[in-house]
Amino acid sequence: MKVHLSHPTRDVVIQGPKRVADIFKELNLIPEAFLIIRGQDLMTEDETVADGDSIEIRPVISGG
């Protein structure tokens, strides 16, 4: 699957299918600080991303 990340903007490829919670673990990300978006839809941590899917992991933290 293709995973789009921000700060800095980059794309990484991960072997699927994989649960959202496991994607967070693999990328060492804290779920509280991100949303996972497939197309225009949010995904919960128990859902599975198929190998051919493209998802965005969007950071939600802002501010200086």
Q: Does the footprint of another protein cover residue 47 (CB under 8 A)?
A: yes
Considering only residues 11, 17, 25, 42, which one is a binding residue for another protein as defined by CB under 8 A? 42
* Stretch 2-21 residues interacting with another protein (CB under 8 A): 6-7
Place of tokens 């994989």: 18
Q: Using CA atoms, how far apart are residues 50 and 64, in angstroms rounded to an integer?
A: 36
Considering only residues 3, 23, 43, 49, which one is a binding residue for another protein as defined by CB under 8 A? 43
* Backbone φ and ψ of 11, nearest 5°: -115, 135
H/E element holding 26?
helix 20-26
Question: Is the distance from CB of 38 to CB of 23 less than 8 angstroms?
Answer: no
Considering only residues 14, 19, 37, 53, which one is a binding residue for another protein as defined by CB under 8 A? 37
Q: Which residues bind another protein (CB under 8 A)?
A: 6-7, 30-35, 37, 40-47, 58-64
